Structure 1
Amino acid sequence: MTETIRITVNGEELTATVPARTQLAEVLRDHLHLTGTHLGCEQGVCGACTVMMDGRPVRSCITFAGHCDGADIQTIEGGDDPLGQKLTAAFTHHHALQCGFCTPGMLATARDILTRFPNPDEALVRHELSGNICRCTGYQGIVAAIMDVGSQIDVSGETHVDPTPRAVFTPFEPDESFSVAPETAVVGTVVQDKGWTVITRSFDLSHPAADVWTLFSDVSRVASCVPGASVADVTEDAFAGTVEISFGPIKARFGGKGTYSNDSQIRKGFLSGTGADKSGQSNVRGELHYDIVEKNEATTTVNVAFRFNIQGVLAQFNRPELVTGFVDFLLQRFVANCNAVLSGGTAATDHRMGAFSVIFAIMKSWFRRGQR
């Protein structure tokens, strides 16, 4: 059985005769040849097929075409109005796309967010984007682009309405009977703060505080304990160096420079640096604070607070979900190297990070967070 529907797509009135079970996405792609609307999961989960229908975002892969008779549809091909132009420019400026598969749905959702909320903050944008999956960017550039356009709209005095109020999301309660015993004494948090990823960690080293401080206050020695890092041209308060990342197919070598300071009386220090990878496609900024605290004569607690921001193709490393496991994996190797150096040995020279090992560490991190 077929039916004829009449819809307005990107301002043009069109007619299509299709089988009754045809989805809106099929009409757009196969009958109207508007292939900018992408099909991913085809279950309404990934959000790649999102389009605007009568001013609201809908999943075109699970929306029956027959239900759209008389509707006004806007796809990515029709996003050349002022708001669409601002979003497109901002997505380009903030590196908010890589493979581009999720981008049409992301832009439709971004339009919906900015239609309903004046100058949204980061938490709100991330919550509203929770129905759109991106497997490349880490969302950092997407969030920054939406907030950028939101601030422009707010300043311009444009009005916002909420045609479809959303219910407050209530998270599920975790199963307290499930537990995974942690294999590391590293504890702390990973959060987002105004575009920065902020990491706090505490761990113990089995050596006296004075020896630990001697190691940490020597930039060259402590850098040798960090997998993939090396420094050169160290002066009284500055240094230059490189950091190599190898995570499966992702490889980058950052070169940069920074400054540092140490206070031997309270055993606290600070480093700050910037860098870019050799391909010029990613930039990083970072700051590190460390605090050496004597736990007992033979054990020292190290408290670190690290904040960084990556822009470009490696922006996915801004994601807290990925960073948590990745950082724990690196810190375990860093702690082992520190203990080796403090015992009179040398740090491991193999800086390669196997993708399987890192992914396994990330999975364990997720399980540990699930039990708290």
Structure 2
Amino acid sequence: MKFDNSFDVSLPPAEAWIVLMDVERIAPCMPGATLTEIIDDKNFKGTVSVRLGPVALTFEGVAGFENVDEVAQTAEVKAQGKDPKGRGGANAAVTFSIEPIDTGSRVLIETDLTLSGSVAQYGRGVGMIQSVASQLIGQFAKALEDEIARDKAASVGEHLEVSTSPAPEATAEPQVISGLSLFFAAFGNWLKTLFKK
């Protein structure tokens, strides 16, 4: 299945590109994700934990950058993972690009996702999966923006106490995504698309 997403970053494209290519920095911003090993500057291993209602899924796998164009600021990430309990797996080819906007940059994401095994039953509806993906991207974008804000505050030497807690380390226990909240948010988005037709 294929779907598109996007999110905004309050940095100019050149700076946003550097941040997005820094896997160690952005991995803690992704809900449920843990970076377990950096193989080299383009390949890495990790896990993603997702709870869908009573079912907790954990995908263990590898991902890597391909077709990286620093001038055009586009890149493709290919990832594959399997559930260690044998319930299936996922393969994804994700292409992202950056375009300038008034407030900084917009990151455009194109995803081609394939689910296998019993896990595939959750992917029967493309609209539902896309809505869930949008929720995850939204959470990631907020966490990333918080990280950028903290970095900006540190760079200008602000000494005010910041109430927001720091981003978790990559080795920290991953925050399991609430499947129930994602389901209702995704279902709501799906209903909106029906009424718009």
> Is the CA contact (8 Å cut-off) linking 1:291 and 1:302 kept in structure 2?
yes
User: 1:254 and 2:50 equivalent?
Assistant: no
Q: Quote the offset at 1:244 in angstroms.
A: 0.9
> Is the CA contact (8 Å cut-off) linking 1:328 and 1:361 kept in structure 2?
no
**Which secondary structure does the structure 1 equivalent of 2:150 belong to?**
coil
Q: Residues 280-319 of structure 1: CA distance to partner in whole angstroms, max 9, x if unpaired?
A: 22111111111011113x4211100111111111112322
> Is the CA contact (8 Å cut-off) linking 2:50 and 2:179 kept in structure 1?
no
User: 1:204 and 2:8 equivalent?
Assistant: yes
Q: Structure 2 CA distance, aligned partners of 1:198 and 1:223?
A: 23
1:27-176 superposed matches below 5 A: none
Q: Residues 228-255 of structure 1: CA distance to partner in whole angstroms, max 9, x if unpaired?
A: 1122224022111111111221111111
Q: Please, which of 184, 190, 195 is the counterpart of residue 366 of structure 1? A: 190
Count of residues in correspondence between the two structures: 175
Q: Structure 2 CA distance, aligned partners of 1:205 and 1:236?
A: 23
Q: CA RMSD, aligned part only?
A: 1.9
TM-score normalized by the length of structure 2:
0.80
> Is the CA contact (8 Å cut-off) linking 1:252 and 1:277 kept in structure 2?
yes
Q: Residues 91-114 of structure 1: CA distance to partner in whole angstroms, max 9, x if unpaired?
A: xxxxxxxxxxxxxxxxxxxxxxxx
Q: Structure 2 CA distance, aligned partners of 1:354 and 1:256?
A: 21
> Is the CA contact (8 Å cut-off) linking 1:217 and 1:269 kept in structure 2?
no
> Is the CA contact (8 Å cut-off) linking 1:244 and 1:254 kept in structure 2?
yes
User: 1:306 and 2:111 equivalent?
Assistant: yes
User: 1:351 and 2:175 equivalent?
Assistant: yes
Letter in 2 for 1:357: S
**Which secondary structure does the structure 1 equivalent of 2:29 belong to?**
coil
2:27 is aligned to 223
User: 1:265 and 2:89 equivalent?
Assistant: no
CA distance 1:360–1:347, shift in 2 (3 Å): farther
Structure 1: unaligned runs, 5 residues or longer: 1-196
1:74 is aligned to none
Q: Structure 1 CA distance, aligned partners of 2:52 and 2:189?
A: 17
Letter in 2 for 1:317: Y
- Select the structure of larger CA radius of gyration: 1
Q: Which aligned segments of 4 or more residues in structure 1 are displaced greater than 6 angstroms?
A: none
Q: Residues 310-334 of structure 1: CA distance to partner in whole angstroms, max 9, x if unpaired?
A: 1111112322132022112111101
**Which secondary structure does the structure 2 equivalent of 1:362 belong to?**
helix
Q: Structure 1 CA distance, aligned partners of 2:75 and 2:28?
A: 17
Task: Report which structure shows greater RCO (CA 8 Å, sep ≥6).
Answer: 2
More strand by share: 2
> Is the CA contact (8 Å cut-off) linking 2:31 and 2:140 kept in structure 1?
yes
User: 1:277 and 2:83 equivalent?
Assistant: yes
> Is the CA contact (8 Å cut-off) linking 1:220 and 1:234 kept in structure 2?
no
User: 1:241 and 2:46 equivalent?
Assistant: yes
1:314-333 superposed matches below 5 A: 314-318=119-123, 319-333=125-139
Q: Quote the offset at 1:355 in angstroms.
A: 3.3
TM-score normalized by the length of structure 1:
0.44
Q: Structure 2 CA distance, aligned partners of 1:220 and 1:234?
A: 12
> Is the CA contact (8 Å cut-off) linking 1:211 and 1:342 kept in structure 2?
no
Structure 2: unaligned runs, 5 residues or longer: 152-165
Q: Quote the offset at 1:367 in angstroms.
A: 2.7
1:179-194 superposed matches below 5 A: none
